[in-house]
A and B are shown apart, each in its own frame.
Chain A
Amino acid sequence: MSTIQQTNPNQPEISSYIPPVGAEKRRSRLFRRRKAAPWMEDIPWWLAALKALTLVIIALMMLLPFWNVVAVSFSSAQDVMQGGFTLWPNNPTLESYKALLSGGTVIRSMRVTMLLTLVGTAIQVAFTTMMAYGLSKPGVPGSRFFFILVLIAFMFQPGMIPVYLLVRELGMIDTYASLVVPGLIGAWNLIIMRNFFQNLPQELLDAARIDGASDIGVFRHIALPLSKAVIAVIALFTGVGLWNTFFNAILYLNDSAKWPIQVVLRQYVLEGSTITSAADFAPGQPPPPAESLQMAMVVLATVPILLVYPFLQKYFAKGVLTGAIKG
């Protein structure tokens, strides 16, 4: 705590007991928050440094594997075969990307995934938001019943085959609708949003009512603008989920031209990796694609959705918290 005393201008001079302020003190300023909030404890410089170091190491542990993927994707197949952990390609090349983007498959599946993500997110968020708003208002007939239905669906997931049979009966096999409609109402998202709507000040909504707004008007002009944060977060969750559509596509789609990017990615990356013994070889099975090709595929399938995060970052913590904490 001595550093606090040293920097406090109201503190009487006690330099005869304390060594002159030197390098150590300057360092302590460097690591200390410029203005610690009143409830936050100030910490000694070495602890701050240790914290920083730990955080840097953890960040590197997260970033290095991804950086390795990027570096390998720009390496030549031969360099990668030599093995080792690549942090910088020896002979940087765009070969892998050229090969992937020239075949038509990757571009096609990328287009499918982008459309699916955009349209699917819009539809799912719209339905979830509207239902959440409806269920958040007291006095809506049957709202309790429907909310319990949603909770049941949330807690007791149906198995793969019952859902497959339902999708089939609804005539949605081999349509993009099969990838969007079963998840039209996200139960988890709906609960978050319903809580959020319940916390909107009733007076605001009443005021709009008095000004002559209809139910839909209140929803559109009052509730929605106040809910940007939570909608952004729900849209992000939904969007990432749709971007990663994989198993449903394998289950419901017949035409391979409709495959989203994750199915294509998995074919590239898993090829060869599942061979565990000499008995596993399929006759005529294509050899595993070069590792650089696999990693370029990973980059192509990951980066677009990663780019969305920074733009929604500011809503993120806020949106989840406001929805989750009641009162």
Chain B
Amino acid sequence: MQLDDYEPFVGRGTIDELRLLGARLRERTIATVNSTAVGGGVAEILNRMVPLAREVGVNIRWEVMKGGEDFFALTKRVHNALHGKPDRLSAHDEEVYRETTQRNLADLDLDADVIFVHDPQPAGLVAARRPERGRWAWRCHIDLSAPAPEVWSFLARAVSQYDAAVFSAPQFGRDLRMPQVMITPSIDPLSDKNCELSADEIDKITQALRVPRDKPIITQISRFDHLKDPVGVIDAFRLVRRYNDCRLILAGGSATDDPEGAEVLQQVHERANGDPEIHVLELPPTANREINALQRASTIILQKSLKEGFGLTVSEALWKGKPVIAGAVGGIPLQIKHRYSGILTHTVEGTAFWIKQLLNAPEYARRLGENGREHVRTNFLLTRHLRDYLLLFLFLEHPSERVVEFD
């Protein structure tokens, strides 16, 4: 992908602004560090972002830290604890983290003007920080609103040495002394999950998934997890169907390796009770075009989460111009302004009420969808994400200024 490929979505001016910013960073070297080159959201973003940053003239290199199984088992626990699962680290755990950090400090080239580190795994690399060289930013992709206190306190010892921390939503920020920057995540309009699809391809995919398109379709795409409330979605659907004829699709990743997911899936099947108008679809992780087609075939898209990280599936749905009804949790209120670019709800009854409203007022639903798409175009596409990263790199040189004027 090249930057110009994004011009049809964001316009020439946005592309030119990225090039202007890139020119300001031409003399700098940037090292960005994470813990995996493939798989996972961070690697996916860097795989697209790093080439685009280079294209605008930024001298950026991508370093990947290495660790053994014990290290990654530990950092998986740290990840869950930062999301709020109660846990504490033993002296051995801390030693595993320190040892892996030390080994990587010897192997990685961290000599750069800006060192941009993603998530908890490589956070300890800040031990290499020297006062005379390089500024360090820690990018946290995790919802830190209620972390397990002892695990956060361990990580905070490293994080507090950074020059800036970056969070995805205001409520994820912590009590830290350095500047905290908010950079929301983004979707890529050129990826399989978000690109335009022909009517023919949408038809073929929905047929293959055995979803008739004979009546309005209400869809929720999310893994089978209590926090996404799929059972509540079925309850809301049943309230709607007393008055409106429609179908429901609940589509998410297969739950074969996830005992908790399998239990939720079982509950979903029990609640659906063989209803032919409720389609429960287990999709493989590679089913991006299928998800894209299901969203485009839908009349209304739901994300009835009870707790959410950023909830980027909302932006994915809005990008397809669909009216979205979603729980007012996590990063979702940043993506939807209630009654302007979508609907925010708190209950099963509220969700059912708004589904009926939108089914019965298709013109209003259409306008919400159009507004939602424009909101994503302005605020949640990859080009805005790249712009914010470039601004962050510049900000690190002017941390106390609020207006930075270049000649």
Q: Do A and B bind each other?
A: no
Which residues in B have some Cβ–Cβ distance to A below 8 Å? none
